[in-house]
Structure 1
């Protein structure tokens, strides 16, 4: 196995399943992985399946958890934000608590963790990749809170990108269309439709977009990527 010091270090939030797990699979041959998750045993088990990895355990909705976990990181070459949640419902139906929960995970936690890790990312002249969504550009009935969070995440990324140019930190937004994940099953279940996995992107296709962004040469940054299913 390679010496860990010879591999770029990347933290992947939501790294135990879905898109985050697929990103880990793609990067495992060349990177030391920090597998983000709330479940300590699951994060440890996933990390153990890779040649060079360790768990990063934190409840991203807890400022204390994030501060403690981030405080243990001294070196970081890339941060991939893949953790996210959704809730379906009309504006009339959604509660204040639901709005808070979605924005807390999808926006506030992202900003908090990124802020705490900027010193390490600046030292490495590293990269931040945010898994956004097509919902970061477009809205649909019944999807207000998720779209609002993704619009906000896009604004966060655009602002961070300009702020960090002087420090050499590059920032990329990835905007997938519908992806074959547990979240997509949740959405289709809420809508009462038939689930057809072949109508959606695979997590691996999104992961390869992340790899492409991370592979940009040092003088360039991939600012935004849209990835859409071929099926309509």
Structure 2
């Protein structure tokens, strides 16, 4: 297969799904997510646009599953052109002195440990010429975002370290900041927000991809 490949972790909904659809005309999409039905719906939308996808319904917090996935990518395609990491655990908003231990542990596992593990597995597939993309969130450090903010910030800190380490040797690592979008994650954070004022996820996916092409 000569078509480029794009691995998208967190592809079942939101920005990940929108990025998958936007990339489908030029890339074979390897879509990772926990919700089988949502992945199948994404596959239908990609096929309707003439694209193709490989669905990988699995949890990124399971190292063995991620190892098997990356080995499968190597065996089938030999390498990977692009990795977009949109998967995140959004813990409920709460005052810092009321952070739930289980929510914090889940946030650490999904947002920090899984990211570091994936970098370890995906980096050899990207090689020198591939590209990895992470997504920053401006709410980090704001009130009530203790569990999410701390672990999302740590995730981006890992990405920035990798970015600095690979600046001369590759792969290229990009960190983008999306505009506020009408996603399920944001709806959990802001349940009464007027969603009509938010950016459409497909428009935002197109904007972010345009930045990557510069």
Q: After TM superposition, give the deviation of residue 6 of structure 1 in Å.
A: 2.6
Instruction: Describe how 1:69-218 pairs up with structure 2 within 5 A.
Output: 69-74=69-74, 75-87=79-91, 88-122=93-127, 125-136=129-140, 139-189=141-191, 194-216=192-214
Instruction: Give the match for residue 68 of structure 1.
Output: 68
Moved more, 98-107 or 77-86: 98-107
Aligned length: 205
**Structure 1 residue ranges without an equivalent (≥5):** 217-232
**Structure 2 residue ranges without an equivalent (≥5):** none
Determine the C-alpha separation between the residues in 2 that align with 1:98 and 1:28: 34
Determine the C-alpha separation between the residues in 2 that align with 1:212 and 1:67: 31
Moved more, 42-51 or 62-71: 42-51
SS at match of 1:92: helix
Q: After TM superposition, give the deviation of residue 41 of structure 1 in Å.
A: 4.8
Q: After TM superposition, give the deviation of residue 179 of structure 1 in Å.
A: 1.5
Q: Deviations over 1:29-48 (max 9, x none)?
A: 11110111123454244224
What TM-score results when the alignment is normalised by the length of structure 2? 0.88
| Aligned with 2:2 (options 2, 6, 24) | 6
Q: Deviations over 1:152-184 (max 9, x none)?
A: 122111110121234321111112242210011
SS at match of 2:133: strand
Contact 2:99 2:146 in 1 (8 A): no
Q: Deviations over 1:96-151 (max 9, x none)?
A: 2211111211222122112101111015x110001221134xx2211111111222
Determine the C-alpha separation between the residues in 1 that align with 2:169 and 2:211: 18
Determine the C-alpha separation between the residues in 2 that align with 1:127 and 1:209: 17
Determine the C-alpha separation between the residues in 1 that align with 2:210 and 2:85: 16
Instruction: Describe how 1:27-46 pairs up with structure 2 within 5 A.
Output: 27-46=23-42
What TM-score results when the alignment is normalised by the length of structure 1? 0.81
After TM superposition, the runs of 4+ consecutive aligned structure 1 residues lying more than 4 A away are none
SS at match of 1:119: helix
Determine the C-alpha separation between the residues in 2 that align with 1:213 and 1:83: 20
Contact 1:34 1:47 in 2 (8 A): no
